[in-house]
Chains A and B, each alone.
Chain A
Amino acid sequence: MSGLMWFAIVIVAIMVGGYIFRLAGQKITGNAPMFRDMSFGVAFGYVLAAALLVWAVYYYFQPTVTEAGTPNAGVVFFKWAVHGFVIAAIAAYLFRLLGRFVGTAGSRKLFRSMPLTASFGILVILIYAIVAVFAGVIAPYGQSEILGAANVLAGGDLASGGDPAYPLGTDQIGRDILSRLIYGAQNTVGIAFITTCLAFFIGGSLGFLAATLQGWLDQLLSRSVDVLMAIPSLIFALLLMTIASVWSAKLGVPLTIFMVLIIAMIDSTRVYRLARAVGLNIVVMDYIEAAKLRGEGLGYLVFKEILPNAMAPLLAEFGLRFCFVFLTIAALSFLGVGIQPPLADWGTMVRDLGPFINFAAFIPTAAVTPLLAAGAIALLTVAVNFVVDWMLHKTSGLKE
């Protein structure tokens, strides 16, 4: 109850602050348009933002250890988050600066107009790509190599249960977490990328075909897709994976291939819908009519006339879809039917190391292990969306 009261008091205080802020602004600047036409909501927002900033600075400088000697986990994690944010911002800034002076004239021009979020996204994707390609070279140990000690904590500090040989610690059966994270990039990201491309190839071409030809083909494809979409996707995937696990044993084909095909098929229904909707808007354009009247074939119509104009929405969808596929794979692995051990996979790692999160309040470094895998997933998702947003902004020709 008192918590709710405190909340109400803070809100009222900020409201009063907003009112005073606007009034003061009007008086001091002599009714400048900015303050004169400012709505109360905007003034409230300014004061709220200022209050949050003050609180964040105050919280950042709280001691990391309580008087009783236990670590103050909230402050520790908040500090890590702030450090991570600042480092990411600086890295993105430097990367953009580098891009402005290195490379071809075209790429330099691209970097000059790039927002910081996009350069951060590109940097992250680049790092992921390099890590995934050179995983074997970078990783200190093999992904399934079982080393001596199990459950070594992160931090590499012997006094608090770490080991300098394993900077991020080891898992429950003694495999190096850093190595598994690195191999995880190869497995999870690589498979997700292939799956998304496949989903786009199938869904995109069928969608455009349906939009161009219409008639019975459109009806057939669209109704089939409706049927597939009516089944909850994760449950559907689980069901098919169960069937596939029998087949894979019988045929001797790795289960991962089946997983790629199954997820691609399920996700291609979403891509189909989008491609068809976008395609329908494009096929009514006069330039399509002109091409038809010229006598152009179907392939030219779809790939040369329609596809370039559907690029912007498809790219946006690609970014989102990639993240969804990625999360589906992680979820399947988490449930035990996805990427199979001993292959390293971030979803599996979150599942296996999850219980450690319970120790966060006592030993913050112990909770880091599952968070690292989850963080790797989150970071890539955010990075991909930053880049896609920027590309959309560019291709749609939007101005601020």
Chain B
Amino acid sequence: MSELLTIKGLKIEGRSDEAWNPIINGCDLSLKKGEVLGLIGESGAGKSTIGLAAMGYTRDGVRISEGSVVFDGIDLVKASASVKRALLGKRIAYVAQSAAASFNPAHKIMDQHTEAPVQHGVSSRADSVADGIELYRKLRLPNPEEIGFRYPHQVSGGQLQRAMTAMAMSCRPDLIIFDEPTTALDVTTQIEVLASIRQIVEEFNTAAIYITHDLAVVAQMADRIKVMLRGDEVEEADTRTMLSAPQKEYTKSLWAVREFKRPEKPPVAAGSVPVVSVRNITAAYGTTDVLHDVSFDIHAGRTVAVVGESGSGKSTAARCITGLLPPRMGEISFVGEVLPADYRKRSKGQLRQAQMIYQMADTALNPRKTIGQIIGRPVQFYMGLTGAKKRARVDELLDQIELDPAQYYNRLPSELSGGQKQRIGIARALAAEPKFIICDEVTSALDQLVAEGILRLLANLQDKLGLSYMFITHDLATVKSIADEVVVMKNGKVVEQGPKTEMFTPPHHAYTDLLLSSVPEMDPDWLTNLLKERGVDNIGDAAVDKM
């Protein structure tokens, strides 16, 4: 079979600070019909840029400086706008990371689905509506006859992502580019989308470029994998070869991330007073209860991971502990002492003891303040240190989070990378010298290597300072590596809780089992086996609904 897409010597530059700087320093890639290529790398590796360049498109302020992108004999770099217009949407389609942001909220899904086929003259509107319903059925969307006539906001995130895959298929393209299609989804929903994408790509013999930073996902989807690092190609091989025998150091380090595990700790001594004790909490937004009778303890020097899908009430529980959302019933005590429900009624000392690290470091740090000011404020506020003493303490904290004080003290958050920002968030929490820190999805916005660094740092700090963590996450790999105890939540209730080893060894509660089995593994046959095991109609949403 001949090559469908050939990219040769592709160099891409981006404009910043009045100069053109390289983003991709020469990339070669080829794709046969019906083949799936996985493109992986950290953020900033240039994966998405290559994905877009494969359509002959670059973002604003970015240009293709050299090389060729030949799709079925047509060089898209040199092709005119009208030639590209005839190809894009019809023969090459694109599935974006956030379907919610990519659908126009003002039009019904089906109207957007039929736009491309009608525009390109592939089929009439009536035919493409019928085809859309057929695709929705193939992708196992609920109510396929009806779902297309809803607005995007009336459909869940996972369903919307599948509707977007269906939309990309509407003209039966030869090539689809998937740009992190499952990154924003829960594990149980992710499986569904992965299964549908794989099924439809196989059925229509479509070639695909699958961009992701999740190795386990790419192992399920791709025939070949290409690893990128800062605009350079690291290596490329068959999926199985790549997984079993990576050649380059960088690839090996990527593979090794999932192996970080903390040594097990002895069980908590009987009768010891927990640092934080949550007792029978029921909380509501307005008049709707979102937490029902939740109880758990967090002991000194321990990490309790709170796991669940989005909407399960994990973050709400954290808001109750911090006092932002006073619970309707139940109480929260700190080392035996019951805390006032509302944070405004808590004393400075009580507030100091419980600190929080946020998921989005971008919104957690004031963009107009320097690192020194951000960390210095709690030092001054709680400890009353000023001048040289304050500076010394901030330097010490920066050392603790492994950033050079001289270099970072006067920087603004925008001058830091994602991982560094998260470290600053940790330092700000540490500055209060707390006993207890709530970590709300602290690694989910980060690349795996960076996330691993953060997890190691948190683990070290815990050993050194005897901190207790409440670790909110939906990522079970993180739970495996850092938690001592696990609390599984669903629909505002605690489904199951206990020490980690107990939780990860069967028998589990049915929901825990579903969560655990939905975490992608590096084994390329994992998805196939899992689907076989669960039965075709019992994946993801469907399985959750049955419980």
A290 x B358 contact (CB < 8 A): yes
> Which residues of A are found within 8 Å of B355, using beta-carbon distances?
293
A287 x B414 contact (CB < 8 A): no
B368 x A292 contact (CB < 8 A): no
Q: Which of B61, B322, B414 contacts A293 (CB 8 A)?
A: B322
Is A309 part of the contact surface with B, judged by Cβ < 8 Å? Answer: yes
Query: Which partner residue on chain B sits nearest A305 by CB separation?
Result: B366
The smallest beta-carbon distance between B364 and chain A, in angstroms, is: 4
Main SS class of interface, B: mixed
Main SS class of interface, A: helix
Query: Which partner residue on chain A sits nearest B381 by CB separation?
Result: A294
B363 x A294 contact (CB < 8 A): no
* A276-315 interface bits toward B, Cβ cutoff 8 Å, 1 = contact, 0 = none: 0000000001110110111110000000010011010000
The smallest beta-carbon distance between A133 and chain B, in angstroms, is: 32
Is A67 part of the contact surface with B, judged by Cβ < 8 Å? Answer: no
Is A3 part of the contact surface with B, judged by Cβ < 8 Å? Answer: no
> Which residues of B are found within 8 Å of A399, using beta-carbon distances?
15-16, 61
Is B432 part of the contact surface with A, judged by Cβ < 8 Å? Answer: yes
Of residues 9 through 29 on chain B, the ones whose CB sits less than 8 Å from some CB of chain A are 15-16
B356 x A293 contact (CB < 8 A): yes
> Which residues of A are found within 8 Å of B143, using beta-carbon distances?
none
B378 x A294 contact (CB < 8 A): yes
Using A36-B80, A296-B381, A397-B414 as known contacts, say yes or no to A309 and B367 having CB atoms under 8 A apart.
yes
Q: Which of B81, B365, B377, B378 contacts A37 (CB 8 A)?
A: B81
Using A294-B378, A308-B369 as known contacts, say yes or no to A400 and B15 having CB atoms under 8 A apart.
yes
Of residues 349 through 393 on chain B, the ones whose CB sits less than 8 Å from some CB of chain A are 351, 355-356, 358, 360, 363-369, 377-378, 381-382
* A161-187 interface bits toward B, Cβ cutoff 8 Å, 1 = contact, 0 = none: 000000000000000000000000000
> Which residues of A are found within 8 Å of B381, using beta-carbon distances?
294-296
> Which residues of B are found within 8 Å of A36, using beta-carbon distances?
80-81
* A29-44 interface bits toward B, Cβ cutoff 8 Å, 1 = contact, 0 = none: 0000000110000000
Chain B's interface size range is: 20 to 34
B363 x A286 contact (CB < 8 A): yes
A309 x B368 contact (CB < 8 A): yes
> Which residues of A are found within 8 Å of B296, using beta-carbon distances?
none
Query: Which partner residue on chain A sits nearest B77 by CB separation?
Result: A33
Query: How far apart are the CA atoms of A400 and B19 in the complex, in Å?
Result: 11
Using A293-B343, A309-B368, A399-B61 as known contacts, say yes or no to A285 and B363 having CB atoms under 8 A apart.
yes
Q: Which of B15, B16, B366, B377 contacts A308 (CB 8 A)?
A: B366
Is B348 part of the contact surface with A, judged by Cβ < 8 Å? Answer: yes
A286 x B358 contact (CB < 8 A): yes
Is B324 part of the contact surface with A, judged by Cβ < 8 Å? Answer: yes
> Which residues of A are found within 8 Å of B414, using beta-carbon distances?
397
Q: Which of B61, B324, B365, B367 contacts A289 (CB 8 A)?
A: B324
Query: Which partner residue on chain B sits nearest A395 by CB separation?
Result: B368
* B27-62 interface bits toward A, Cβ cutoff 8 Å, 1 = contact, 0 = none: 000000000000000000000000000000000010
Of residues 1 through 49 on chain A, the ones whose CB sits less than 8 Å from some CB of chain B are 36-37
> Which residues of B are found within 8 Å of A285, using beta-carbon distances?
363-364, 366
Query: How far apart are the CA atoms of A286 and B413 in the complex, in Å?
Result: 14
Query: How far apart are the CA atoms of A378 and B490 in the complex, in Å?
Result: 64
> Which residues of A are found within 8 Å of B16, using beta-carbon distances?
399
- On A, residues with C-beta under 8 Å from B are 36-37, 285-287, 289-290, 292-296, 305, 308-309, 311, 397, 399-400
17 A-B pairs besides A289-B356, A293-B322, A400-B61 with CB distance below 8 A are A36-B81, A285-B363, A285-B364, A286-B364, A287-B366, A289-B324, A290-B356, A290-B358, A290-B364, A292-B324, A292-B343, A293-B323, A293-B324, A293-B356, A294-B351, A296-B381, A308-B369
9 A-B pairs within 8 Å (CB atoms) are namely A287-B364, A290-B428, A293-B355, A294-B378, A294-B381, A295-B346, A295-B381, A308-B366, A309-B367
